[in-house]
Homo-oligomer: A and B are copies of this chain.
Amino acid sequence: MKCYRLLFFEYSFYMLIYQSYIYKYMELTRKNQIIKVAATLFRERGYNAVSMRDIAKVMEMKASSLYNHISGKQEILSSLIIEVAQAFTSEMSKIIATHSTALKQIEKVVEIHIDVTVTYSENIASLNNDWMHLEGAALKTVIKMREEYEENFRSIIKRGIQEGEIKPQHPEVILFSILSTLRTLYLWNEKRGKMDVNLLKKDMVAVLIKGIV
């Protein structure tokens, strides 16, 4: 996974297509490759247990060489987290904008969570487990985005209760139990194996909304 010039790199990287699972990174810039590699390591061991030398080893280069492409470890973490946080925020905005019934909106929240999880499962691990290791502005931003997301979800649930669509249970309990299931979805990505995404959406919506009895 070494490369001295982009063309040469693309060639040598191309060679990996048939022997490696990382062929999907082929079209990425060197920077984004590093971020992807870091993401999988962060997911397995957590931000603080992964050294720059660990990341470099997978990239088949020396740790110092990483700094030709990124400004530091913090940049990797913050770009990972902010990317997926923005995905959630923008999807949530779309849902709010639909002005459908609260129940339909909740169903939609479950669905987009599954979609985003499939697309960004490694990023979500960092968002969930390592957000507190962000520094400065990035930390503030992520906390704010998280609060706004929760507040949006909370207001949907409250509206659902007011309009009689949802049982008058403690809204915080509802919010919490749905959200914690959705947030841990990334852990389930490999376990569910070949389970179809659309089937998963259907079942998940059913279980979370209609219960199990």
* A residues lining the B interface (CB < 8 Å): 44-46, 48-49, 103, 106, 129-130, 132-133, 160, 165-167, 169-170, 172-174, 176-178, 180-181, 183-185, 187-188, 191-192, 195, 199-200, 203-204, 206-213
Contact = CB atoms under 8 A, between A and B. Distances in A.
Nearest to A176: B188
A206 B170 CA distance: 10
- Taking chain A's interface residues, is the majority helix, strand, or loop, or is none over half, making it mixed? helix
Contacts of A46: 46, 48, 129-130, 132-133
12 contacts: A45-B132, A46-B48, A166-B213, A170-B199, A170-B203, A176-B188, A178-B212, A180-B181, A180-B185, A207-B211, A208-B211, A211-B212
Contacts of A177: 181, 204, 207-208
A207 B169 contact: yes
Contacts of A191: 172, 176
A178 B200 CA distance: 15
Oligomer: number of copies: 2
A169 B203 contact: yes
Contacts of A184: 176, 180, 183-184
A5 to B, nearest CB: 37
Q: Most chain-B CB neighbours within 10 Å: which of A49, A173, A187, A188?
A: A173
Given A173-B200, A211-B211, 19 more contacts: A46-B48, A48-B48, A48-B49, A103-B213, A160-B212, A167-B210, A169-B206, A170-B199, A170-B203, A174-B212, A176-B184, A177-B208, A180-B184, A180-B187, A180-B188, A209-B211, A209-B212, A210-B211, A211-B212
Contacts of A200: 173
Contacts of A48: 46, 48-49
